[in-house]
Amino acid sequence: MKWMQIIVTLLLFILLIIPLGKYMYLVVTNKKCFGDKFFDKIDNLIYKVSGIDRNEEMGWKKYVLSLLAVNITMILIGYIIFRTQSFHIFNPSKVEGMEASLSFNTIISFMTNTNLQHYAGETGLSYFSQVMVIGFMMFTSGATGISVAIAFMEGIIGKKKTMTSFYVTLVRVTTRVLIPLAIIVGLFLVSQGVPETFKGPETVTTIEGKVQEISRGPVAAIESIKHIGTNGGGFFGANSSHPFENPTPITNVIEMLAMMIIPGSLICTFGLMLKNKKQGFAIFAAMSIIFLIGLIICFNAESAGNPALANIGLNQAMGNMEGKELRFGIEGSTLFTTVTTAFTTGSVNNMHDSLTPLGGLVPLMNMMLNVVFGGAGVGFMNMVMYVILTVFLCGLMVGRTPEFLSKKIEAKEVKLIALAIIIHPLLILMFSALAVSIPAGTSAIANSGFHGLSEIVYEFTSSAANNGSGFEGLIDNTMFWNTTTGLVMFYGRYLSMIILLAVSGSLASKNAVNVSIGTLRTDNLTFTITLVFIVLIIGALTFLPTLALGPISEHLTLWY
């Protein structure tokens, strides 16, 4: 019975992504679909005002330049808004302008779909900033990731050498997918008690006779797109463990489904664009296997409880409930933890710093691999990166030029893939090494020993994976941490996108080769299992020494 909530949630996830994947396929391929008469009027108005040519095609280089130009412009505008908060309308709490390094960190965080928060939302931002910057960028950063994934699909499928205009896909995904889904989820959250208002904090008298100030605001609107766009930044500092963000077990399930459906649906969309559903299923199966391995480990670790607490006489029959909400329990907490880091959302309904060592290892590993579904678009691209690498390695073993989707994988693509794989651990390990070697980094550690190292590694892993969750024992609102994590978020987001678009552009320019009896099939169970092993082996070779010094050593110390 303990697994029933988890099983039901995962079954609902599978049932939802099939129709949504088909709908997204129609949207991104500009085919007729539901609501065209209404949405065409909105889109055409945006194209006219913005000067967008809806029939334009882009090469991968122009696509990258367009993406960067739009994102950098929004970064500059958002930074100015954060710095000038004291002059804002919709600022009933009289929030002051945000400090320079924190403004830099926050604007990079939300533009890169990371939503790492070194501030408490209810006290650090005005309502104007929450809506006009945070809410706006939750839509645009999610739409950016999806748009890049679609362009990547177009390139590797290779039916044309150019890609659909970045601007067109960005607009269509926003108006036809993200906004409608956010409205549906937002209205449901309001019905469950999540506030949606521009009124200021409410001062109340508690049962004890004390006066308490209760923060509120446009929470439901932020909360819905926070999950739909795999963003994760909470209106409140406590994120989805706060009862105003996530009041009931039902909202807990809805929020998990909301952050899962777009990354899952994109795989269905890929299968339809490729006209090979088996290929999409093979990738989905590989992601699912790694996800389930992590979920089982996390659930069992938290269910086993904390022996240190048991030794001092505390009842551990319910498992490790430190940092968790009773209304969610072990099941709802461990599933949320695994989902939010596998789908790189970063929203939390429990404190990851309070997880058992092995329970905390799972979210760390999900983000280190960064292919277990991943965020909106980017996780799919990263997994295909490993697919191409697997094809190359298998080709070497049989002495045949590797091929993927009828395109030869040659030296250029392999070099780019190797570079893309190296960047992620390089950012994590290089900055973690810097943090543990200077006082500006070590002074932020709230826990000494193995757990303190885990706090540092988790922060940079979350930043590089564009996740945004954290081991909140780290005192991270400092010049050092705001600057370093800001840089990691920026490079972790855009370098991998640019490299993988270059791979896509290279494959798009190649002529298709005929499938022969020697062609390696990439849409069957054998390839799926091989892919899973390749991902896990490369992840272990890269990160095992760091994990051994952190959560693994902490687990051995605690239990043995």
Max CA distance (Å), the chain = 80
| Both structure tokens of 6 | 């988890």
DSSP states of 429-450: HHHHHHHHHSHHHHTT-SS-HH
Which residue type sits at 559? W
Q: How far apart are CA 154 and CA 229, in angstroms?
A: 22
Residues 6 or more apart whose Cβ sits within 8 Å of residue 533 = none
Q: How far apart are CA 442 and CA 327, in angstroms?
A: 35
Domain boundaries, the chain: 19-276
Distance, C-alpha 517 to centroid of its chain: 39
State the pLDDT at residue 1.
58
Q: Is the pLDDT of residue 519 over 80?
A: no
Q: How far apart are CA 301 and CA 295, in angstroms?
A: 10
Residue written as token pair 């989707």: 405
| Both structure tokens of 174 | 């926003």
C-alpha pair distances (Å), 223 with each of 149, 259, 282, 536: 24, 11, 32, 33
155 pLDDT band, cuts 50/70/90, is: very high
Instruction: State the helix-helix crossing angle for 219-228 and 136-157, rounded to 10 degrees.
Output: 20
8 Å CB contact between 106 and 468: no
**Tell me: the pLDDT tens digits for 23-50?**
999 999 999 988 889 999 999 999 999 9
pTM higher than 0.85, yes or no? yes
C-alpha pair distances (Å), 151 with each of 137, 409, 502: 20, 19, 11
8 Å CB contact between 102 and 482: yes
Q: Is the pLDDT of residue 481 over 80?
A: yes
Average per-residue pLDDT for the chain? 91
**Tell me: the pLDDT tens digits for 375-408?**
888 889 999 999 999 999 888 777 777 888 888 8
Residues 6 or more apart whose Cβ sits within 8 Å of residue 87 = none
